[in-house]
A and B are shown apart, each in its own frame.
Chain A
Amino acid sequence: MELFNNLPSGFAVVLTPTNLLYCLLGSLIGTLVGVLPGLGPLAALSLLLPLTFKLSPVESLVMLSAIFYGSMYGGSTTSILVNIPGEAASVVTCLDGHAMAKQGRAGPALGMAALASFIAGTLANLILTIMSPGLAALALKFGPVEYTSLMVLGFVTTIFMVNGPAPKALIMIAAGIFLATIGTDHVSGALRYTFGSQNLIGGFDLVAIVMGLFGVSEVMLNVEKIARSEIVSKKIGRLLPSLQDWRDSWAPILRGSGLGFILGVLPGGGPVTASFLSYAAERRLSRTPERFGQGAIEGVAGPEAANNAAVSGSMIPLLSLGLPSNGIMALLLGALIIQGVQPGPMLMTQKPDLFWGVIASLYIGNVMLLLLNLPLIGLWIQLLRIPYKVLFPVILLLSVIGTYSVNNNLFDVWVMIGFGVIGYILRKLEYELAPLILAYVLGPLLEQSLRQSLVLSSGSPVIFFKSPISATIMLVSAGLLIYFAYGRIRSARSVNAAPPPTKEAS
C-alpha cells in the first residue's frame, strides 16, 4: 500500500522540467555512448562524473542512470548495422542482429532490440519498485558482521562470473582493496603507503583511476586495431517487427527480463553476463538452434531484454544495501558519496525523494529511449560515420578535463596516465578490470566493517557464523567456492582425458 503513495511521489520529483531535462540528456548521451564504438558506459560515466558535482543528488543520479541504460539501448544499433558492438553487453547482438541486417531485415532487428529493451526495462522496474522497500527493511537488520559477509559473497560471485582464471580475478579484487587502503586510515588516522607524498594522503581519486583504466586504456587498444570501414548501402525497411517476429520473440523477452534482473541483482553480475547467458539459454531452448548466428530474431530479443533488465536489477543492491553489484554501480555509488549521500537501508526513509525519484526516472527514461531510438534511428546511423581518428583525441581531452577538474590537481592527470598504461597491459593479458573498481569502491566499507566485526569478537572469525543472516551468506559463499572449484577440476580432467589433437586438426 505504501508503494502506491511512494511511487507517485517519485514521479512528482522527476516530472519537473529540470529533472526531465537531465533524464533526457542522460538518455541522449547514453544512446550516443552506446552507438559509438570505443566508448563504453563506464568510461562515459567517469568522463561526465565531474559535471554532476554541481547538480543535486537527484539530478545527478537521474542523469547517470539514464546514461547507463541509454547505452544498453544504443549499443544494439552499432551491433546490428556495423557488426561492432557499441559496448560489451551488445556483443551477442552482433551474431544474429547483423546477420538479419545482411538479409535486408535491419529494420525489424533494430525495432525488436528497442522494443525488447523497453518491455524488459519496464518489467524490471516494476519488480524493482515492489522489491526495494522489502529489501531495505531487511537491510536494516544488517550490522558490520552481515555487511562483511555480504561483501565476501560479492567478491566470490565476482570471481565466479568473470571470464578467465580465478587467480586473475582474485588479484584484481585484492589490488582494488589494496589501492583503497592507500592514504589515511580512517579508523586510526595513520598514513599508509604515502611515501611522504602530500598528494597520496587522501588516496587515489576514483575518477582518475576509472578514467585511466577504462578511458585511456580503451583508446590505446582501439588505435591499434581499428582500421578502415567499408560502407555498403542497404535498405533498413520498416522498423516494426511482424506478427511472426513477435511470436518468436515474446518468450525470449520474458525469459531475458527475468534472467537479466536476477543477474543484475547478483554481485558480480550485470548486463554483459546477462546478455551472454540469455543468448546461450535461447539457443539451448530453441527447436532450431542451427538458425542462431544466421539471423534468428530470438538472438536479438533475448539478450537485449536481458541487458536492460540487468540495469534495473543492479539498482536494488545499490539503493537498498548501499553495495554496488558491478563496476558501473560502483561508480554511481562513488558519485552519491561525493554528493554527500550514503546509499543503504536508511536511504528510503531519509531521502525518499532521491530513492523514489530515481526509480520513477527509470520508467520515464525507458519511454524516452524508445522515442529516441526508433524515430531517430537515421540520426544515430549518421553518427556511426564519425571516424575514430576524430573521436579518439576528443575522448582523450575529455579524460584530461574530467580528471583534472575534480580536484584542480595535475597529480590526478598523472595518476590517470599511469592507470591507463596499467589498464592497457592488463587488458592485453586478459585481466578483467571491473572487479578492481568494485573492490576499490567497496574497500573502505569492507575494512571498516571487518575491523568492527573483529573488534566485537575480540579477533575471532567465528562471529561471522553466529548471526543467522551472516552465517547463511557465508555458507552460500563457501558453497559457491566449492562448486566453482569442482567445476574447474572437472573441466581440467576432461581436457586431460581428451585425445591429443591430430596433426591435421591442429
Chain B
Amino acid sequence: MVWTNAVVQGLLLGGLYALFSVGLSLMFGVMRFVNLAHGDFSVLAAYAAYVLVEHAGGTPLWTFAAVVPMAAVVGFFLQHFILDRALGAGELSPLLVTFGLSIFIESALQQGFGANNDSLFLGPLSYQSWKITNTLYLGRLEVIVFVVAVALISGLQLFLSRTQPGRLLRATADNPRAAALSGVNPRRVRALATAIALATVAVGGLFLAMRTSFTPTSGSNDLIFAFEAVIIGGLGSLWGTLLGGLILGVAQTVGSQINPADGILAGHLVFLAVLAYRPQGILAARNAAL
C-alpha cells in the first residue's frame, strides 16, 4: 500500500509539473528555442501574488484572477519587444537573452524580498485531505492542482485544434515559411504563444507557492522539472507533456520512498533513460510540432 500511495502522490505532483512544462513546450514548438527564464516567471508570478495578498488580504486564490492575465500581457509584450528581436539575431541569441532575463529576475527578486523562504498560505485547504483508505489520503489542494492541470491542458488542446488562432499557432509551429505565405503574421502568433506560456506557468507558480515554499532562486529547479517533463512526454503533444509530468512526479515520489534523499535523483535518472532510449519522447506526435 505504501507504493500505491507513492504512485498516487507522484501522479498528483505530476499535474503541477505539467503546468510548468506546457508553456515551455508551446514556446519551443512555435519558436524552436528553450526559454531559460521560464521557471523564473513562475516564481515572479508567486511573488506577485504574495505582494497582492500582503496588500489586499484575503485568500491567495483570488490572485489567480489578477496574476494570470497579467502574466499573459507580460508574455505578449516580452515577445513583441525583446524576444522577437533576439530571434532575428541568430539561434543563440534567444537563449542568451532568456538566460540574462533569468539572472535579472532572480537578482531583482532577491533585492526586493531577500533570500528567505516565502509561501502562500491557503488556510485549512493547505493541509486538509480526503481519506481513501487507512493508508491512502489525497490532499485537497493536490487534487485541485491535478484537476486544474488536466482541465487546462484539455482546454488548450481544444483551443489549438478547434479555433482559428489555435490553427494559426499550429501552422506556424509546423511550417513558419508557409504560414507567412498564407497571410499569418508570425510576430502576432509568437506573441500569442508566449502570452499563453507565461499565463500557464503563472498558474503553476501560484499553485507551487500554495503547496510549498519558494525563494527568488527556486525558478531554476522549476525550469529543470519542466524541461524534463517535456522531454519525457515528447515534443509535439500536449498530452505528452502531461504524461511527462506524471512520470516525473511518480519517479520522484517512488524514489523518495526508496530513499528520502533520492527522489529528485530518481526523476533525473528516468529523464536520462528516456533521453537515451527514446529521445523523441514517449508520446512524440508524428509530423506534429505541437
A and B form one complex:
no
